[in-house]
Chain A
Amino acid sequence: MTHPSGDRFGTPIDLDTEAVVIIGSGAGGGTVAYELTRRGIPCVVLEAGPYLRPDDYENDEWAAFQQMAWLDHRTTSGGYRVSKDFPHLPAWIVKAVGGSTTHWSGATPRFREYEFRTRTYYGDVEGANLLDWPITLEELAPYYDLAEKAIGSTHRHGRPPLPANNNYKVLAEGARRVGYLHYATGPYGTNAEPYDGRPASIQDGFNFQGDKNTSKWSTAVREIPRALETGRCDLRARAHAVQVTHDARGRANGVHYLDAEGNLHRQAARVVCVAGNSIETPRLLLMSASALHPDGLANSSGQLGRNYMRHTTGTVYARFDQPVRMYRGETMAGIVADEARLDTSRGFVGGYYLETLSLGPAFLAAFADPGAWGREFTEILDAYSHTAGLWIVGEDLPQESNRVTLNTDATDQWGLPVPNVNFADHPNDVALREHGYQRADLLYEAVGALGIHHTPPYPATHNLGTARMSARPEDGVVNAHGEAHDVPGLFVSDGSVMTTGAAANPTLTIVALAIRQAEHIASRFAAGDL
């Protein structure tokens, strides 16, 4: 039996051929697939979602959400507000070829030097499981360059900035008036002018729904099609990985997965790269427990699934006496970096960015103050056309008790145990968020805000840390190249590997790490070492 042909793309690879098997096709998996296949290494890509094309994307919030969001059953605990308002939706991520790069907004700041060494800089913060990364900014810098060129980040490598849209005009002038200096319309992963075979932005305002115009970088419009063109990629869509297997010596050697009809297949593997985002990745490895790995594959440290981070976020909507029309134009092409720094005189460690954000009325109503009703709530909606919005996105601290586990009391559509996400804010997260709300208030008051509304964190778009990198095997799941400390041939290729989360939006860093990892795998292949 083979994978259904309607869900199979590229050049077929036999089930018993030991290929590089990549699970997930987003920022991490899609990048590794392209970087390996272009070097001549055959790859099988297993993507749980369908192969949506830009023509399929919908300029409609709920329709797009139903089309591409990861809606498989999940549970939550820990008391954070998402667990009450959206108990089965801990994360707002994408289940489709391209993964969450399909709906990412596009902000591409780099992590800062100190953010790779938080244990050194922050010290021993009570309740936090801080650890320095096993790599430094200096080591990652050349790969950041490559990632920015792949993505086509504005303001970098000769790419021009995007023009100011309405929401940015409010953000930038407010920033200027409160004395901020480091504001701009990027760096941002959407073309301001044609680049890399894709057109310039038409400012259509739809990012979280997939960009029909393809001006926005995603692995669905760049890495995956190019990997398929090499003739060495076998992309199987609607293929849900169930287990990673290993041989008697403990080397990763295959992946069991289900096709859309529920048939179980086993793809032999020489190397397995897991890139299912930071909830599915630990879930898959936990489901891959064996006699050699009774607590889950690659979990000798006990850290698998732990240190789950979701960034400290919050949204601020301000209303004005004159129109803003924040929904017109690139959603997040406005970034203030002045608070992205370490200064504990503010009352917390870590930093944050302020970035423009806009939702349509449908999602604003759902997320502005979940569960709210009455006139105070409807006033937020009535002011819609006169409203500006920004997102606070900052570092949250890793905590061992914030973790993804298997919930064997609940099953998904395949009968598999669902992931449970347990999360509670660290006091530092609360302090950082409050500071962000206050600074945003000042910023908007400086340009005449009549009223301001604080929105609590959404279901997480940035999910990180559940298979973290560490120098020592006892401190984390994978090494500096993302290879499991205790399972040769098993790599993690997504944001799960982040030792700490930094303040910046994570996609650029995931891509940089994936390019670096693919180079490493290819060199090991060349040396006959994998």
Chain B
Amino acid sequence: MTDLKAALVRLLRAAYPHPSFPDGPYERTAQKILDAVADDVWRRLALEQGLASLDLDDDPAAAEKQLREIADAEFFVHVRALTVPVLYDDHEVWDLLGYEGPSFDRGGYLHRGFDDLDWLPDPRIEEYDGPERIVEVAEHDRPATEGSRR
């Protein structure tokens, strides 16, 4: 891994800290960011310069505090805009967060737990048919001229 990519991975982990994530998702995201700026001299130089001048603390909270101070730096703003659609679209990330992705080809969740929540009682699914009618218009909100009719 290049120093540039390693520095970017470090930045991504500080800005989007997930204790359970291995390096893989951050590395793939970093690569996509580097690919995106490869042909853009200004963006690339801004990123290289930004990362070269950044000395992030090893402590996550302290690193986040450092980043808050440069939140508006152009290279960091650009990195954030590119990160969210990539990092959270990573299938390993989906696994780590407990999301199962495409389901149609597996028959949906009809027989795979769409209703497996068991820590609350099974609720009514029909509409309420008891004696309480919904008061669509409160007494004090009825137009004066319609009082007798309604």
Interface residues of A (CB under 8 A from B): 59-62, 112-114, 120-121, 155, 161-166, 168-170, 172-173, 176, 181-186, 201-206, 212-213, 322-325, 327-329, 337-338, 340-345, 360-362, 364-366, 371, 373-375, 377-378, 381-382, 384-385, 447
| B141 x A382 contact (CB < 8 A) | no
Asked whether any CB of chain A lies closer than 8 Å to the CB of B121, the reply is yes
Residues of B near A381 (CB, < 8 A) are 18, 88, 97
Assembled-state Cα–Cα distance A64/B99 (Å): 17
In the complex, which of the residues A185, A205, A337 contacts B134, with contact meaning CB atoms closer than 8 Å?
A337
In the complex, which of the residues B94, B134, B135 contacts A360, with contact meaning CB atoms closer than 8 Å?
B94
| A340 CB → nearest B CB, Å | 8
Interface residues of B (CB under 8 A from A): 15-20, 60-61, 64, 67-68, 80, 84-85, 87-89, 93-94, 97-105, 107-110, 112-117, 119-128, 130, 132, 134-138, 140-143, 146
In the complex, which of the residues B89, B112, B128 contacts A181, with contact meaning CB atoms closer than 8 Å?
B128
Assembled-state Cα–Cα distance A162/B114 (Å): 12
| A375 x B64 contact (CB < 8 A) | yes
In the complex, which of the residues A173, A212, A338 contacts B123, with contact meaning CB atoms closer than 8 Å?
A173
Q: Assuming the A-B contacts A169-B117, A184-B125, A213-B104, are A362 and B141 also in contact, with contact meaning beta carbons closer than 8 angstroms in the complex?
A: no
Residues of A near B136 (CB, < 8 A) are 112-114, 341-342
Q: Can you identify 25 A-B contacts, CB atoms within 8 angstroms?
A: A59-B102, A62-B85, A112-B136, A114-B136, A121-B142, A165-B109, A166-B113, A173-B123, A181-B134, A184-B125, A185-B125, A201-B108, A202-B104, A202-B107, A204-B109, A325-B116, A327-B100, A341-B137, A344-B140, A345-B140, A360-B99, A361-B88, A361-B99, A362-B88, A375-B60
Residues of A near B100 (CB, < 8 A) are 327-328
| B129 CB → nearest A CB, Å | 10
User: Nearest chain-B residue to A113 (Cβ)?
Assistant: B136
| A169 x B143 contact (CB < 8 A) | no
User: Nearest chain-A residue to B146 (Cβ)?
Assistant: A120
Assembled-state Cα–Cα distance A385/B109 (Å): 15
| A164 x B115 contact (CB < 8 A) | yes
In the complex, which of the residues B20, B61, B113, B126 contacts A328, with contact meaning CB atoms closer than 8 Å?
B113
Q: Assuming the A-B contacts A337-B134, A381-B97, are A155 and B127 also in contact, with contact meaning beta carbons closer than 8 angstroms in the complex?
A: yes
Assembled-state Cα–Cα distance A161/B126 (Å): 6
In the complex, which of the residues A60, A162, A205, A362 contacts B109, with contact meaning CB atoms closer than 8 Å?
A205
| B109 x A328 contact (CB < 8 A) | yes
| A181 x B16 contact (CB < 8 A) | no
In the complex, which of the residues B20, B64, B127 contacts A374, with contact meaning CB atoms closer than 8 Å?
B64
| A169 x B138 contact (CB < 8 A) | no
Residues of A near B120 (CB, < 8 A) are 169-170, 173, 447
Residues of A near B110 (CB, < 8 A) are 201-204
Q: Assuming the A-B contacts A173-B121, A181-B130, A342-B141, are A385 and B115 also in contact, with contact meaning beta carbons closer than 8 angstroms in the complex?
A: no
Residues of A near B64 (CB, < 8 A) are 374-375
| B114 x A114 contact (CB < 8 A) | no
| B124 x A323 contact (CB < 8 A) | no
In the complex, which of the residues A60, A113, A371 contacts B80, with contact meaning CB atoms closer than 8 Å?
A371
User: Nearest chain-A residue to B130 (Cβ)?
Assistant: A181
In the complex, which of the residues B61, B103, B117 contacts A205, with contact meaning CB atoms closer than 8 Å?
B103
Assembled-state Cα–Cα distance A204/B130 (Å): 33
User: Nearest chain-B residue to A383 (Cβ)?
Assistant: B97
Assembled-state Cα–Cα distance A283/B84 (Å): 32
| A204 x B113 contact (CB < 8 A) | no
Residues of A near B127 (CB, < 8 A) are 155, 182, 184, 186
Residues of A near B137 (CB, < 8 A) are 114, 121, 341-343
| A324 x B89 contact (CB < 8 A) | no
| B137 CB → nearest A CB, Å | 5
| A365 x B102 contact (CB < 8 A) | no
| B98 x A213 contact (CB < 8 A) | no
| B99 x A327 contact (CB < 8 A) | yes
| B143 x A120 contact (CB < 8 A) | yes
| A172 x B124 contact (CB < 8 A) | yes
Extra contacts, 4 of them, besides A204-B103, A365-B84, A366-B88 (Cβ < 8 A), are A172-B123, A205-B108, A360-B101, A361-B99
Assembled-state Cα–Cα distance A323/B109 (Å): 15
| A381 CB → nearest B CB, Å | 6
Assembled-state Cα–Cα distance A212/B18 (Å): 33
| B78 CB → nearest A CB, Å | 13
| B138 x A378 contact (CB < 8 A) | no
| A384 x B114 contact (CB < 8 A) | no
In the complex, which of the residues B84, B99, B135 contacts A366, with contact meaning CB atoms closer than 8 Å?
B84
Residues of A near B140 (CB, < 8 A) are 344-345
Q: Assuming the A-B contacts A166-B117, A203-B110, are A378 and B141 also in contact, with contact meaning beta carbons closer than 8 angstroms in the complex?
A: no
Residues of A near B116 (CB, < 8 A) are 166, 325, 328
| A344 x B141 contact (CB < 8 A) | yes
| A361 x B93 contact (CB < 8 A) | yes
Residues of A near B67 (CB, < 8 A) are 373-374
Assembled-state Cα–Cα distance A70/B146 (Å): 45
Assembled-state Cα–Cα distance A345/B141 (Å): 9
